[in-house]
Amino acid sequence: MTKTAWVFPGQGSQALGMGMDLLELSEAKEKFVQAEEILGWSVSDICQNHEDKLARTLYTQPCLYVVETILADVIRKAEKPDLVAGHSLGEYIALYVAGVFEWAAGLRLVKRRAELMENAAGGKMAALIGFDKEQLDRILAETNDAVLANDNSSAQVVISGTPEAIESVLAQVKAKRKLPLNVSGAFHSPMMAEASAEFKNVLATVEFHQATVPVISNVEPVPTVEADILKQRLVKQMTGSVRWRETALALPEQGIERVVEIGPGNVLTGLIKRTASGLKLENVRSAAETELVRS
């Protein structure tokens, strides 16, 4: 039996029209209705008609959670993963799929997380592609208020911090491409400490169960099923770095041979391909593509 990991993308993978063919499925319709009751706005309306809102953290994160969890539930009728992981927001979908919390509880967590991150203004993030790692590590070590936020692959990272610190790093580091990100705050950095502290209190009110399959967390890419460990790692996630390169390297170490990225786009399979060779990579972005997995 081929050992399979399911991985779930986070903010930045959203696209207008995502998940809309899911509305043809009765079980999906129920989830969209339930989501509107929890959120106070319509996921399907945002995904179909409001590209500007879909790009805002406040809406992006709940929309991705709803679409990706529904896709995963459809696929689960035919197969089960042996391991799960998600990139930033995607970790919440991984935890739901692993049975760590109920669907509605997860959406409420994501809703509050999105609100806190939307309001954490004043920071800056930038992606670097084709850079010298040693040089970047040295510059970050010498620069206050700038950190490595996403270690995505050996060729792509995201830095986060105060606008002044990020500008300073960008001015010094050599890279093929330097791309400022259109986000409201310095996500995955110490600048999120206040939001993280408030979110820790929110997490304390939600019961976590032992995972049914191992979960690789962003801040500590070592698989576990222990509820307390998974919650502690999630507490750290808002201020900690997303260690996706190490997650990709851990997949073959865990005996994984096949990886299915569930959600819009193909960012994660692209990153995994650059980091861990020899894995069979698949994407499920729509109801139509769930048929490929289920056939």
Residue 250, pLDDT score? 97
44, 168, 188, 241: the catalytic one is 188
Note if 88 is an active site residue: yes
Residue 293, pLDDT score? 67
Tokens of 198: 């408030």
Residue 290, pLDDT score? 86
88, 153, 168, 241: the catalytic one is 88
Note if 50 is an active site residue: no
- For the beta carbon of residue 142, count every other beta carbon within 10 angstroms: 11
Give the span between the Cα atoms of 275 and 76, in whole angstroms.
Answer: 27
Tokens of 35: 């989501």
Tokens of 259: 């990886």
Give the span between the Cα atoms of 90 and 172, in whole angstroms.
Answer: 32
For 251-262, what is each residue's pLDDT tens digit?
Answer: 999 999 999 999
Q: Which helix (H) or strand (E) holds 163?
A: helix 163-172
Residue 183, pLDDT score? 83
Which domains, from first to last, does the chain contain? Answer: 4-119+190-294 (3.40.366.10), 124-180 (3.30.70.250)
Strand order of the β-sheet with 280-284 is 215-216, 83-86, 4-8, 258-262, 280-284
Residues in the chain where the model's pLDDT stays below 70: 292-295
Residue 117, pLDDT score? 92
Residue 58, pLDDT score? 94
* Percentages of the chain per state (helix, strand, coil), in multiples of 5: 50, 15, 35
Residue 68, pLDDT score? 98
Give the span between the Cα atoms of 273 and 261, in whole angstroms.
Answer: 12
For 260-291, what is each residue's pLDDT tens digit?
Answer: 999 999 999 999 999 998 999 999 998 888 87
pTM of the complete model: 0.95
Residue 185, pLDDT score? 87
Q: What are phi and psi of 214, to 5 degrees?
A: -60, 145
